[in-house]
Structure 1
């Protein structure tokens, strides 16, 4: 395992040294997770695409003036869920903009039409409807939340998540990726992760690389996540996500991380983070699947046979069969998991609300993975 100083010294490692670093990370992965990689079969539910933040790389967020802003209705949500059920999906990923009602009267009006005054209140009830009317398990990614919000959402969420992205306040400056983004203040995001730990919520977080951060800031972000997990034990997975430039954004011409940068970051993440934290990389943002496996990942995250990645709509999900072939080519089996990882299912009385546990018990095999493994697409 790496120390902070050892990790910092690897900023520019390349060639044979990078290969050796990846081999070390892969060995740790093999010891902890064996010869299998996992994924979650999901539907993506973009409950609202309005947000009070204006990240320099985002095309998901729409303003009321664009004519493209929405809140999905409960019927629209359930239509996605029901079609996902028919395709064997088991996770309903709620992803949404942060607190748009604090910025836009249009968002407040739309919520009022739906019978609510806040996005979190609406999210709670729609997630509860998914539990009541389907067998999909909600995973809630609602951005920064206060402790009461996390407490309220836990009974309607099998797991929750929020990307830390980076702990650098420098990225809040004018001209940087997080300028004019009140919910990207690092301390606010760290507090959300901490609240989830205090309330024993299985949590997903991660870093976004290539948005103007330094290597040191990248390492400090991983260490901050690890420190939180060592104290609370609730971080079930960390995502290392590579920035992709999008036309029409402030960062449209910003340089993207290359494959070596991803391999380097993934390997260092595996050797910095506690082994109980799963390491994930999105497979639709880079198609060098074998290189990711060799760098130490053990999970591909959520993949949908139905819905697009609304955050990166130009990047189609890979077919499950393609990932299976890549895994087998490296000597691994691809297995379907639930949105909650096995080690948290084993402590369900601590990590899962009584309203969630009965549903999961019938969906999980004895090893904690999905009992009914869907055939590759």
Structure 2
């Protein structure tokens, strides 16, 4: 392991940590936690001073259908549990116009991964609207939002090809996909990504790479507490840093903490404690430096927001 004081000095001088140095943080003794958090907070201050941002957004779940079966997810539903496979354009625009009156600036389009590959109901609904794929419909909806309102579409469309990114690029201000984890182990039998082909880290990282080649402003991040180790978290953050250093397109990294929810396979799974979240945020800040925007969702950590700010974030998201 790299000497802690040597690492701390590099951080104070805002010198980039190597892969080996970053990975050595996984073995850092808890006796250094307070110093780690202080370093991360100071590094954030160097880049963002005392400014913490947020985005006024409207959440638009275009479809809750998804071909993946992540064991912690409550977003995805089957056709029998929803009224309609997709929100209509009119429903979307009604929501966006209400949000516009309330001062919102961002329209966040969220959806499941390629539901038409799994559900006949999705294929039929798309055909009735004149579309072959969910992403074609997303492009149409985003175009209407852009043309008819003042809100800017941000699209979380999952894994995409270069052609799909090119289709969505003209109708969105930015896009995003959570890497969640670069660990292939989490897709093994009994693990949370088993049976979810779109959670293959290589496929998600390829989407990130293609977005970089297309110069698309992109958001990504990791999900902690789903069975990964601290080292695997760092490996995931380094994978994101690698693609960003190659293309320069990542505008924000999200550190999201798992919350156990009823009616999921992981309903009884232990959640990461506050110290794990703070440690991960701080390590993320050390890996990405002073200028990367780092977010943690405030709704997942009520009552401790001041501590989360202290660990190195500068943004609360939408």
Question: TM over 0.5, yes or no?
Answer: yes
Q: Provide Cα deviations, 1:306-339, integer angstroms capped at 9, x if missing partner.
A: xxxxxxxxxxxxxxxxxxxxxxxxxxxxxxxxxx
Measured after TM superposition, the shift of residue 14 of structure 1 is 6.8
Equivalent of 1:176 in 157, 175, 191: 191
Measured after TM superposition, the shift of residue 65 of structure 1 is 3.2
Measured after TM superposition, the shift of residue 12 of structure 1 is 6.5
Identify the residue that residue 261 of structure 1 maps to in structure 2. Answer: 276
Q: Is the 8 A contact 1:98 1:143 kept in 2?
A: yes
Identify the residue that residue 364 of structure 1 maps to in structure 2. Answer: none
Equivalent of 1:271 in 282, 286, 290: 286
Structure 2 residue 128 is the aligned partner of structure 1 residue 113: yes
Identify the residue that residue 199 of structure 1 maps to in structure 2. Answer: 214
Runs of 4+ residues over 4 Å off in structure 1: 12-16
Measured after TM superposition, the shift of residue 191 of structure 1 is 0.5
- CA 1:14/1:135 → structure 2, altered by over 3 Å: closer, same or farther? farther
Distance 1:132 1:268 in 2: 41
Identify the residue that residue 155 of structure 1 maps to in structure 2. Answer: 170
- CA 1:68/1:6 → structure 2, altered by over 3 Å: closer, same or farther? farther
Identify the residue that residue 308 of structure 2 maps to in structure 1. Answer: 292
Distance 1:106 1:229 in 2: 38
Structure 2 residue 36 is the aligned partner of structure 1 residue 21: yes
Task: Tell me which moved more, 25-34 or 121-130.
Answer: 25-34
Distance 2:78 2:156 in 1: 20
Structure 2 residue 76 is the aligned partner of structure 1 residue 78: no
Identify the residue that residue 3 of structure 2 maps to in structure 1. Answer: none
Distance 1:117 1:236 in 2: 31
Q: Provide Cα deviations, 1:134-183, integer angstroms capped at 9, x if missing partner.
A: 00000000100000100110100000000000011111111111011010
How many residue pairs were aligned?
Answer: 302
Q: Provide Cα deviations, 1:51-70, integer angstroms capped at 9, x if missing partner.
A: 00000000111112334553
Structure 2 residue 158 is the aligned partner of structure 1 residue 143: yes
TM-score if structure 2 supplies the norm length? 0.92
Q: Is the 8 A contact 2:46 2:290 kept in 1?
A: no
Q: Provide Cα deviations, 1:214-245, integer angstroms capped at 9, x if missing partner.
A: 11111000000001111100000000000000
Equivalent of 2:231 in 189, 194, 216: 216
Would you tell me which structure has more helix in proportion to its own residues? 2
TM-score if structure 1 supplies the norm length? 0.78
Aligned counterparts, 1:2-21, within 5 A:
2-11=17-26, 17-21=32-36
Aligned counterparts, 1:1-377, within 5 A:
1=11, 2-11=17-26, 17-68=32-83, 70-287=85-302, 288-302=304-318
Task: Tell me which moved more, 216-225 or 16-25.
Answer: 16-25
- CA 1:69/1:60 → structure 2, altered by over 3 Å: closer, same or farther? farther
Distance 2:198 2:277 in 1: 26
> Unpaired segments of 5 or more residues in structure 1?
303-377
Measured after TM superposition, the shift of residue 276 of structure 1 is 3.1
Distance 2:109 2:60 in 1: 5
Distance 2:228 2:278 in 1: 17
Distance 2:231 2:116 in 1: 36
SS at match of 1:166: coil
